[in-house]
A and B are shown apart, each in its own frame.
Chain A
Amino acid sequence: MEKFITLTDTAVPLEIENVDTDQIIPARFLKATDKSGFGENLFRDWRFDSNDEPNPEFALNKSEYKGAILVAGDNFGCGSSREHAAWAIKAYGFKVVVSSYFADIFKGNALNNGLLPVQVSPKFLELLFIEITKDPSVEIKVDLEAQEISIPKKDISESFDIDPYKKTCMINGFDDIDFLVSKLDAIKEFETKRSQKLQATKPL
């Protein structure tokens, strides 16, 4: 997994609440069997109209908005568990998603793919939207080590929470598979110790 330590970049404002994973990547694009190519279909039905023409009103199509930080409305990533949503956002070029709330499964998927979800207060989110729309070239700094998001030019900042284990993984580029495989002996021991009565562990 790609490491994430700190990032300073401009941002794209997506002022929509409850962005679900069906909007991030519609189901008809889930037929692939590898992880490539999802970026071009990110927000497909918002980015393009029914004739495949770009929708000029959609934030990602506005030339003034660029950068690797996506700032989105409350409850981002709700709905389907499709990890394709995190792959699509990452493949499009984003490295951070900021929102006042993330759906559980999306948050986990993002962290497992080196895409940092930064949860801020609704007030700070509002402030970000105001500053970005006022000046699209304004830079936002995300410092994972310090767990702080800021607009250096404006001297505005807020700290954010992240699971300490996940933070270590992101900073070092570790992932859960390596960790779990290192624990296989403990897992086998757990299996043996469990009550034999429990049908659950018997194979089908």
Chain B
Amino acid sequence: MKKTLFDKIWDSHVVESIPDGPDILYIDKHLIHEVTSPQAFNELKERDISVFRSGQIVATADHNTPTENQHLPVKDLLSRKQLKELTQNCEDNNITLYGLGHPYNGIVHVMAPELGITQPGMTMVCGDSHTSTHGAFGTIAFGIGTSQVSQVFASQCLLVEKPKKLRVNVDGKLKKGVLPKDVILYIISKLGTNSGTGYFCEYAGNVFEEMSMEGRMTVCNMSIEMGARGGLIAPDETTFEYVKDKEFAPKAEDFEAIKAYWETLKTDEDAEFDQEYTFEAEDIEPMITYGTNPGMGIKITGAIPMEGGKSDAKALAYMGFKPGESLLDKTINWIFIGSCTNSRIEDFREAAAYIKGKQKAENVNALIVPGSRQVAAQIEAEGLREVFENAGFTLRQPGCSACLAMNDDKIPAGEYCVSTSNRNFEGRQGQGSRTILASPLTAAATAVSGKLTDFTKNLN
């Protein structure tokens, strides 16, 4: 039978199928962080069960960490306690932890790929919905709840029903100023926030084939925002080149041997999908969101749709926008470039290339938060820090930061923030904050003009 990329990986990880029930799916790598793991460790302790395969678990601290003075003790006592508990749990269970200050520390979905922990053909899980990011490598990666974190601790397996298969094709040539973030925001704006529920999504077409790994990660990251459990892209030379020589990647002959296997990880021609959509690259323009879910997106030069139900009206009231309104020239006081969606080196290069020689507008607070210590070091090495600082941007230390506002990095109530993160939910970036999702380039351009503009006119 013809198989999809998803089938090939899934089927090779099924330990047993329960009649009329879920599959026992073997998990190759389990990533954990401070927020969704403590209760899972407690669950094990209460049952007197030990961690089954501690060597396949990697921990980082990212969600609940400050982005300033990381060398000092964490000020917030609850956060400090949560981080301490992670350290203790990892020590007790012999789990590798890249905590605050470690050169490998970073947002879980940034640090694992850059260390080569993420590899094609794997199954990966993490107590975080944006685990879908790792699908960029041709990996089945998805977010799980804390009860499932304890299940993987106990058995390195999960009980899951095999999702249905969806394919989204984008072919053609992307316009100038259109980044991977715009591509995924466009897809979600067309398909809506629950079109992917129950599905695993494969992205196909030359647009994804031509994307860098960073770009593919941005796309797969937001699969969950259309409801899909995960998204994946077939691994190719771009993938192999990225993984090669990474810290935990197989080396020399081992690499060549496994690469031969990775090359087989493609959807067979004529394999069937339960659902399929196709878009043209030429139709995509820089995107922004205007509402309180990521599906409420328009091109930056567009107008807010007139139609919409009760929930849309609630969203517009929260955002302070009206149906039919164009958001061009809307004053913006905050921009945030960071999060597991857009905090990799390529994102900061894009932003810096636009900002270089320019100044942020006086009204704007511009926050730059790298995804990991390695990205921060790269920013330094490539001279991007000077570009950001000379333009008046604030460069912080790595972490999830203002994407979910668990730490002090919050957007004040009522203020608009053009953000490269993944969610524009009510209060996501701080109580009463209003988030407009966009690409790093759109965020950079907004910081310079102090308002939303059609910046593509200024691009060379």
Q: Which residues of A contact B (CB under 8 A)?
A: 15-18, 20, 22-23, 26-28, 30-35, 45, 50, 73-75, 78-84, 86, 101-105, 108-109, 112-113, 163-165, 175-177, 179-181, 183-184, 186-187, 190-191, 195, 197-204
Contact = CB atoms under 8 A, between A and B. Distances in A.
B293 A30 contact: no
Contact of A45 (B121, B122, B406, B426): B426
A201 B121 CA distance: 11
A174 to B, nearest CB: 11
18 contacts: A22-B428, A23-B425, A31-B64, A33-B38, A75-B197, A78-B193, A78-B293, A79-B423, A81-B129, A83-B39, A83-B127, A105-B229, A175-B147, A176-B151, A186-B16, A187-B52, A200-B119, A200-B122
Interface in B240-288: 248, 250, 254, 257-258, 261
A180 B26 CA distance: 11
Interface residues of B, number: 87
A199 B406 contact: no
A74 B406 contact: no
B55 interface: yes
A17 to B, nearest CB: 4
A186 B24 CA distance: 10
A112 B24 CA distance: 16
Contacts of B146: 83-84, 109
Which of B58, B85, B147, B431 has its CB near the most chain A CB atoms (within 10 A)? Answer: B147
B213 to A, nearest CB: 18
B261 A198 contact: yes
Contact of B311 (A18, A26, A45, A181): A18
B148 interface: yes
Given A81-B36, A176-B147, A180-B159, A33 B122 contact: no
B364 to A, nearest CB: 24
Contact of B197 (A50, A103, A108): A103
A186 B15 contact: yes
B55 A204 contact: yes
A108 B158 CA distance: 12
B404 interface: yes
B24 A187 contact: yes
A112 B161 contact: no
B194 A75 contact: yes
